[in-house]
A and B are shown apart, each in its own frame.
Chain A
Amino acid sequence: MIELRQVTKIYPNETKGLSDINLTIRDGEFVAIVGLSGAGKSTLLRSINRLHDITGGEILINGQSITKAKGKELRLIRRNIGMIFQSFNLVKRSSVLRNVLAGRVGYHSTFRTLTGRFPKQDIDLAFEALSRVHIMEKAYARADELSGGQQQRVAIARVLAQEAKIILADEPVASLDPLTTKQVMDDLKKINQEWGITTIVNLHFIDLARTYATRIIGLRAGEVVFDGPVSEATDERFAEIYGRPLQQGELLDEVVV
């Protein structure tokens, strides 16, 4: 369970990133966070695993405060939260397998990881993760030889190898074409349903959010302006939230499930 209590983020230049956010996300939910660019979607997501520090309030992960955690305690909380990025964030010059194994670093001592000798279970886990996203045959290819969609699947495999209980995905499909978008979103949905991993995804396309999520959170100027099940998130409701009718760029009609 993820609890955000009166979370506020003010940037050093006094811009308000988030203001007084109160949310509870239960285990196994598939949440889509939608909003215009600059609404604070990314800031909110990165606050949850503390890639960004918040300036007020508190965030609890399964009852444990990540806001107050330091050093090893913080790293152990982060180990349970996998993250997927818009730009994949793979090491391009490393092999796919090594990139997936990088998800395991939180489980081992510094010395062991520096020698690069992962136990056999880790290697098995990495291959299993790669086969989950149908990319096992690329295990020894260099990451930069892969297409965008394949790279994002490697990133998903990394999160699976991490054995994360929560997945945060920051615009995971923003740099992918519609067909690959569908594959990546299908993978995320399948993992959410089969393994019960809580998934929070930032999305630009509202129809994509409606297709995959069980709950939608709308952000505007750092505030939660909508929070409810997919059935309530109609075009009319969003027009109201955005203060104008939905535009072409906010719908991805090609994606048919």
Chain B
Amino acid sequence: MSTQIKLGSDPSQPSLRPKPPGRLKLYMTAVLILALIWGSGKQTEASLGELFTGMPNMADLLKQMFPPRWSYFDNIVRGMLETIRMALVGTTIGAIIAIPVALLCAGNLAPNRWLYYPSRLLLNLVRTIPDLLLAAIFVSVFGLGPVPGILALTVFSVALISKLTYELLETVDRGPLEALTAAGGNYFQRIAYGVVPQIQANFMSFVLYTFEINVRAAAVLGLVGAGGIGLYYEATLGFLEYDKTCVIILFTLAVVLLIDYASTKLREKLL
């Protein structure tokens, strides 16, 4: 080949190039973020010194936790099973309710504007309420036991799954929907044939993820009397029986790891 492109053969080139954009914005952003972190620390009176003086206490607590009192394990199996059942029921009911809610909240699929804005507002409102507070409210309404816990987890699941799903819905390919409209399909048929196949794998993955979170959340709901393993946390911590608490923590860890492993495998199959 006779024609070769010689790089750097034209000395006039550098002056012709456009100027790279300034980096001032980047530096300013970094300064701003550092200032925010420092300011937050200052305002909350966080100090590294306190962390160090607290170290011996932490070591002491850990020492009391070991060795774990394994015999306590038999007492908590029932509570743990209840926690998992609460999470399972709450997540399932929540997932079912989340489907219509997500459809109402998705900007591209909402049947009409008058439902879209109130649904979004409501969803944002629900998401700002911490699940522990929700559980406390339901306990005061329905009394102690797993029912208020399940209700709290249901509401929490609706909020989380709807949010993730409507964001997913807003990214669906509109082409198949157009094709179904052209074929004379109505709203429900468009959703069932054009949207559901596009999102179902991701939706299942959201439900599994929510289930994982709910098992963890259900573990602390007992603190406000909403059933599950949390009751045992409160009891053992109250009596300063840290070796028992340790068993609960290890058991919870094992369950969470197991569920995490199972749902990861399931998601791999789905996607």
- Interface membership of A91, Cβ < 8 A: yes
Contact B189 A113 (CB under 8 A): yes
Please choose the segment from B92-100, B180-188, B228-236, B252-260 that sits at the chain A interface, where 4 or more of its residues have CB less than 8 A away: B180-188
CB distance from B224 to the nearest CB of A (A): 40
Chain A residues positioned under 8 Å from B197 (CB to CB) = 91, 93-94, 98
B167 interface residue, CB < 8 Å from A?
A: no
Say yes or no: B176 contacts A90, CB within 8 Å: yes
A-B contact count (CB 8 A): 82
CB of A102 within 8 A of CB of B183, answer yes
The distance in angstroms between the C-alpha atoms of A102 and B175, with both chains bound, is 13
Chain A residue nearest to B176 (CB atoms) is: A91
B121 beta carbon closer than 8 Å to chain A:
no
Q: How many angstroms between the C-alpha atoms of A89 and B178 in the bound complex?
A: 8
Please tell me if the beta carbons of B179 and A158 are within 8 angstroms of each other in the complex: yes
Instruction: Check if A83 is an interface residue, CB within 8 A of chain B.
Output: yes
State whether the Cβ of B240 lies closer than 8 Å to any Cβ in chain A. no
Binds B, one of A4-12, A72-80, A124-132: A72-80
Find chain A residues with CB under 8 A from B173 CB: 92
Q: Which of B176, B185, B189 contacts A89 (CB 8 A)?
A: B176
Contact status of A102 and B193, CB under 8 A, knowing A83-B179, A85-B179, A87-B175: yes
Chain B proximity mask over A66-110: 1 for CB below 8 Å, otherwise 0: 000000000111110111010111111110001000110110001
Of the A-B pairs whose beta carbons lie under 8 Å apart in the complex, a sample of 20, sorted by A's number, is A49-B182, A51-B178, A75-B185, A78-B183, A78-B184, A79-B184, A85-B178, A85-B179, A88-B175, A89-B175, A89-B179, A94-B197, A98-B193, A102-B176, A102-B183, A102-B193, A106-B184, A114-B188, A114-B192, A168-B182
In the complex, whether A43 has a CB less than 8 A from a CB of chain B is: no
Q: Report B178 CB to chain A, min CB distance, Å.
A: 6
We find that the number of chain B residues with CB closer than 8 angstroms to chain A is 20
Instruction: Check A162 against B183 for contact (C-beta < 8 Å).
Output: yes
Q: Which of A123-170 contact B (CB under 8 A)?
A: 155, 158, 162, 168
In the complex, the answer to whether A158 meets B183 with C-beta atoms within 8 Å is yes
- The answer to whether A85 touches B180 (Cβ under 8 A) is no
A103 to B181, CA, bound (A): 10
A85 near B183: Cβ-Cβ < 8 Å: no
- How far, in whole Å, are A72 and B198 apart by their CA atoms in the complex? 26
Return chain B residues, CB-CB under 8 Å to A105: 180, 183-185, 189, 193
Q: Which residues of A contact B192 (CB under 8 A)?
A: 113-114, 116
Q: Which residues of B contact A85 (CB under 8 A)?
A: 175, 178-179
CB distance from B70 to the nearest CB of A (A): 48
**In the assembled complex, how far is the CB of residue A168 from the closest CB belonging to chain B, in whole angstroms?**
8
Q: What string of 1s and 0s marks CB contacts (under 8 Å) between A212-247 and chain B? A: 000000000000000000000000000000000000
User: Which residues of A are found within 8 Å of B193, using beta-carbon distances?
Assistant: 91, 94, 98, 102, 105, 113
C-alpha spacing A162/B198, complex, angstroms = 22
Residues of A within 8 A of B62 (CB): none
- Residue of A whose beta carbon sits closest to that of B199: A93
For A103, give its contact among B183, B186, B194, B201 (CB under 8 Å): B183
Chain A residues with CB under 8 Å of B178's CB are 51, 85, 89
Which residue among A51, A82, A87, A106 has the maximum number of chain B CB atoms within 10 Å of its CB? A106
Extra contacts besides A78-B183, A114-B188, A162-B183 (6): CB < 8 Å = A49-B182, A82-B183, A98-B193, A102-B176, A106-B184, A110-B189
Contact B198 A93 (CB under 8 A): yes
User: In the complex the two chains form, what is the Cα distance from A77 to B185 in whole Å?
Assistant: 11
| Contacting residues, chain B, for A89 (C-beta < 8 A) | 175-176, 178-179
Task: For B176, list chain A residues within 8 Å (CB).
Answer: 89-91, 102
B-side contacts of A51, CB under 8 Å: 178, 181-182
CA distance A98 to B188 in the complex (A): 16
Chain A minimum-CB-distance residue to B193: A102
Contacts of A76 in B (CB 8 A): 184
Tell me which of B182, B185, B194, B198 has the highest count of chain A C-beta atoms within 10 A of its own C-beta.
Answer: B182
Give B189's nearest chain A residue, CB to CB.
A105
CB distance from B119 to the nearest CB of A (A): 22
A162 to B183, CA, bound (A): 7
Residues of chain B lying within 8 A (CB to CB) of residue A168:
182
Distance to closest chain B CB from A108 (angstroms): 9
Chain B residues closer than 8 Å to A82, beta-carbon distance = 182-183
Q: Which residue of B lies closest to A77 (CB)?
A: B184
> How far, in angstroms, from A76 to B201 measured CA to CA in the complex?
32
- Give the CA-CA distance A142 to B47 in the complex, in Å: 59
Least distance between A136 CB and chain B CB atoms (Å): 21
In the complex, chain B residues whose CB is within 8 Å of the CB of A92: 173, 198
- In the bound assembly, the distance between CA atoms of A75 and B186 in angstroms comes to 7
Distance from B23 Cβ to chain A, minimum over Cβ atoms (Å) = 38
Interface residues of B in 200-234 (CB under 8 A from A): 201
Contact of A83 with B175 in the complex, beta carbons under 8 Å: no
Q: In the complex, which of the residues B176, B192, B194 has the most CB atoms of chain A within 10 Å of its own CB atom? A: B176
